[in-house]
Amino acid sequence: MKLEFRLLITLCLSLTSFRSMAMANNYVSVVCGQKHVLIKSGYAEGVPPLDKPTDFYLQNYGQTNECRLKSGDTVRVRLGFEFYGERHAQVSWVSVWFDRKKWISRTSVEVNGLDDARADEIDISADGIRVCTVHGPIGGSDEGDGDGKKQKPVCKFVARSDLSNVIDTHESERFDPSNNPLVPPTILLGREDTLCKTMTALNKDTSRSGVELVEHLWLNFPTGQSIRIDPSPDSTGQEWAVSDKFDIDNGGGIRHVYHRLQSMGYWENYDIYVVLNNAGYQRFLLTAMTDKDLLENAESVWPMDWSGHGHRLATGKIVGSLAVSLSISKNSSEKEDIPLNQLKITPFSYKDQTYLLLSSNQSSDGLGLVVNPHPAGAFDQRCVFRAGVTNF
């Protein structure tokens, strides 16, 4: 295999998705007593078991729940998180409302620095809040220092009279757990488009869009899920054998699509799609093309052809400096540049057409862009979504 091709496409055999990392381990347990609500941060493999029917656990993505004290007061707890830094370390926090009055806002429950303070335990009652803090990550550092479990917490009590007495009007009076943590995305482009409106119409069947590292971007795929095609490994990687129901580039015929996940570094990876028509695919099988020939003779190679930059093989050597540039609002010069080394591509179908949801796997503002692909690497832009903002 040619060196330049290795630089362009390296098949990653096993990568854990950002979402599975975020959802599997960090959690907040909330114990609802008659007079107190106790919050504790924790770390476990998978969802921690429920000890009591009245307890509940929150796990990232703005999850929320509430309980009522014997006094009649309600306590609402919400957990959120974000990634930051070169290796996308995760930090988490909680916010607490007492009868819709915000008593705690973004109090850290998971940190990464050994000197960073986090709440190990939060006790809420009608009298006020008691917060006990420690320093360092929940599991400690690689050297075994800074393990919060080995520290003696420092606790502080704040009386109810010193806490907020102002109603947070952004919080609904009645809390419905079935509507959480879904926060509708904003449509920046395609507000009157049926497809765009369908994707943002949240309901009980709404599932996560599959966009990694796009927090709170909740979308309904028209088919109920993205196109999922079981890959069959061959000598060149993985082929997605597209059925005649899913014409991948809307060219009116079956396309043979090779999907690769290109890794450029510790957390930098992006999707590559090599598209062949049936004649090209049969020629490839008969002549045993090299991978270099496959790229050069493909009908299209996404996203290289989209960016409009020269030779596909040469592109791989400077991929970090290239980007797909898309408008984020109608009749506007405002553009969103998605670097190719961060591009996530999720195909789905709608009314016998194939669409692609594009996003950056390192985006901090939660943008999703829907395009309608065509042969030879062309596409039309259909929707742009910005992630809804959860109230913390």
CA–CA gap between residue 169 and residue 166 (Å, rounded): 9
Give me 239's structure tokens.
């082929």
The answer on pLDDT for 356 being more than 60 is: yes
State which H helix or E strand residue 357 sits in: strand 353-360
Specify the length of the chain in residues. Answer: 392
Q: How far apart are CA 368 and CA 183, in angstroms?
A: 15
For residue range 326-351, list pLDDT tens digits in order: 887 766 677 888 888 778 888 888 88
pLDDT (mean) for 29-55: 72
- Residue labelled with tokens 């009908």: 299
Contact status, residue 164 vs residue 102, Cβ threshold 8 Å: yes
Q: Is the pLDDT of residue 48 over 80?
A: no
Mean pLDDT (whole number) for 51-71 = 74
What pLDDT was estimated at residue 209? 46
CA-closest candidate to residue 342, choices 357, 326, 359: 359
By mean pLDDT, which of 145-149, 279-283, 378-382 is the weakest? 145-149
Count of CB atoms within 10 A of residue 87's CB?
11
**CA pair distance 130, 124, nearest whole angstrom:** 7
- pLDDT the model gives residue 359: 84
3-state secondary structure of 105: strand
CA 321 to chain centre: 24
62-80 per-residue burial string, b: 16 or more CB within 10 A, e: under 16: bbbbbbebeeebbbbbbbb
Going across the sheet that includes 269-277, the strands are 232-234, 237-241, 255-263, 269-277, 300-302
Q: Specify the amino acid at residue 42.
A: G
List of E strands, 99-254: 101-110, 117-125, 128-135, 154-159, 186-189, 207-208, 218-219, 232-234, 237-241
Looking at residue 142, its pLDDT comes to 45
pLDDT for res 181: 54
3-state secondary structure of 182: coil
**97 or 245, greater pLDDT:** 97
The predicted model gives 161-175 an average pLDDT of 93
Give the SS3 label for residue 151.
coil
CA distances from 299 to 97, 254, 296, 302 (A): 56, 13, 9, 10
Q: What is the mean pLDDT of residues 354-362?
A: 83
pLDDT, tens only, 3-23:
332 323 222 222 222 333 333
360 closest CA partner among 264, 225, 267, 270:
270
- Number of Cβ within 10 Å of residue 46's Cβ equals 9
Give the chain's mean pLDDT: 75
CA distances from 24 to 58, 177, 390 (A): 11, 20, 21
Residues 218/221/224/230 CA torsion (nearest 10 deg):
-110
